[in-house]
Amino acid sequence: MKRTRTETAEQPLEEHDSGFMIPMGMFKPFPHNDTFIDNRSIEIRASPQDNPTSETVTFLHHKQEYGVLNLQDAIISGKITVKQADGNNVAADQNVALHMLPLTQFWKSKSVLINNDQTNTVTTQENELNYVCHLLDKVPSQYQQSDVIDLAIHDTPGQFDDVTTLNNHDDDGTVNKGAARRYNQCHRGETTPLWCYDTIKLTGDTTRFVVSSFDIRVKLDRLEKNKCLFGTAAQCANAFIHIEELKLTIPAMKPHQQLTSAINQLMIQQGQECKYYVRQFRYVPTPVAQGVNKIILNDIFNGARPTRLIVYVRTQARYNGSYTLNPNRMILPLFDHFAVKINDAWLSPELKGSREAYIQLRRILNRRNDEMPFSYTDYLTDYGMIVTDLTENRDSYNRVLPNTTSGNVGLEMRLTANIAAPSQIICIGDFRNQLSVGYQSTARSKFTF
């Protein structure tokens, strides 16, 4: 006997709202097969497409009724070739190589707009900020296995400025083997282009999902050529970098109806997920005259206090750019005293030499028992930055400050010998956990999938 079918009342949709209020992610990772019914990749082509030497490229994503975009895994890719002015490939006898990480460090500025809200720090030194983040956030075991994909091939330590026969990796006179490896990747058979892939940060370091109904605009301005090419000066001046088929690839996922309803209710209509934490930078260069042996800087960031302070010195010639000087090299000068102060309070410890600076770097990076990004020997010759942790929230009277980002930050540095050439002392403020209200002004369009 068949059982009579009874009509049941329609069950209400389940609202997955318990995981929405964590600042560092839009929602907790649900089981993939229970959360998303489909996934695909969205490709955004660069504009203009027919000008491989364009000084500015733009990526535009318009509203789509699909789902959510995983911006953390966004990939930038392109075909890179080094050509002469007439459009032909650079000949094998030309001593011209690319610097490392071309798709992230060959831009002097990057602007990311999501629904017309700026989500990143816009500066004309984007290449240096990317390089510093690369050094401090990664260790060699993380990027060496795939260094031919994104060209994260470092120059040979101690030989950063050597351009001798980069076009012949096996020559006995070639001492900068790292640059020679990069040359080989771009000149295999003279005509083989370099297909380069790299990650691009669109929302900083946060794990961030954005609904596909948002407008996304990414604008990249190309870096000066003398900071991108490395080798014989006259030959580099006659070479040009062509980047073709440049595109962004962003993973997209279509949620189930329950999650779609929760996203629409909390994130778009109520704007509750529009508050998120970002990481921002301030880049402050200060000229230092030749013959100076004491450097004093006050109120570096105009009343703001970063989470971390990075300081290094570069000669003016390297700062301006040169085909024969590696723009990424940081030579640590010998010093007897380095101290940072907030308001009138000097922070502990006072550094009295490079050994103490390296030990402090190990502590700040929390790598007491782990691999460091570089050895102490390489730190002296090529990676000489002094990093200071400013999270201790004290003022000159040892009282806790009400705002963790306030305070006049200054430094004092006494060198062992006078500076031999005009230089720049560069201070980078790494501002973390800055609460930002983004996407909100134009997000409340009550758009449903």
The DSSP-derived string for 287-310 is: EE-TT--EEEE--TTTTB--SEEE
| Contact (Cβ atoms closer than 8 angstroms) between residue 124 and residue 258 | no
| Contact (Cβ atoms closer than 8 angstroms) between residue 267 and residue 260 | no
| Contact (Cβ atoms closer than 8 angstroms) between residue 113 and residue 216 | yes
pLDDT digit string, tens, across residues 329-387: 999 999 999 999 988 888 888 999 999 999 999 999 988 888 899 999 999 999 999 99
> Of 341, 348, 351, 242, nearest to 300 (Cα)?
341
Residue 89 per-residue DSSP state:
B
- By the 10 Å C-beta count (0-12 exposed, 13-18 middle, 19+ buried), 28 is classed as exposed
Whether residue 250 has pLDDT greater than 70: yes
Of residues 214 and 429, which shows the higher confidence score? 429
Rounded Cα–Cα distance for residues 81 and 40 (Å): 30
Tell me how crowded residue 47 is: count the other CB atoms within 10 A of its CB: 14
Whether residue 205 has pLDDT greater than 70: no
Question: Which of 79-88, 146-155, 209-218, 302-311 has maximum average pLDDT?
Answer: 146-155
pLDDT digit string, tens, across residues 115-148: 887 777 788 999 999 999 999 989 999 899 989 9
Rounded Cα–Cα distance for residues 59 and 246 (Å): 10
Question: Which of 17-26, 33-42, 318-327 has maximum average pLDDT?
Answer: 318-327
Q: Residue 330 to residues 162, 383, 403, 424: CA-CA distances in angstroms?
A: 15, 5, 33, 11
Whether residue 389 has pLDDT greater than 80: yes
Tell me whether strands 209-211 and 194-199 are parallel, antiparallel or unpaired.
unpaired
What single string gives the DSSP state of each residue in 315-364? Answer: EHHHHH-BTTB-TT-BPPPPEEEEEEEETTEEPSPPB-SHHHHHHHHHHH
Question: What are the backbone angles phi and psi of residue 174, rounded to the nearest 5°?
Answer: -80, 110
pLDDT digit string, tens, across residues 147-169: 999 999 999 999 999 999 888 87
Alpha-helix runs per DSSP H in 144-269? 147-150, 177-186, 233-237, 257-262
Global model pTM greater than 0.95: no
Q: Residue range 76-88: average pLDDT?
A: 89
- All domains in the chain, ordered by first residue: 36-437 (2.70.9.10)
Whether cis (ω within 30° of 0) applies to the bond prior to 140 is no
Whether residue 8 has pLDDT greater than 70: no
User: How much is the mean pLDDT over the chain?
Assistant: 82
Question: What are the backbone angles phi and psi of residue 319, rounded to the nearest 5°?
Answer: -65, -40
Task: Please give the single-letter amino acid code of residue 328.
Answer: N
- By the 10 Å C-beta count (0-12 exposed, 13-18 middle, 19+ buried), 296 is classed as exposed
| Contact (Cβ atoms closer than 8 angstroms) between residue 384 and residue 330 | yes
Whether residue 52 has pLDDT greater than 60: yes
Residues 6 or more apart whose Cβ sits within 8 Å of residue 296 = 410, 411, 412, 413
> Of 46, 75, 85, 50, nearest to 241 (Cα)?
85
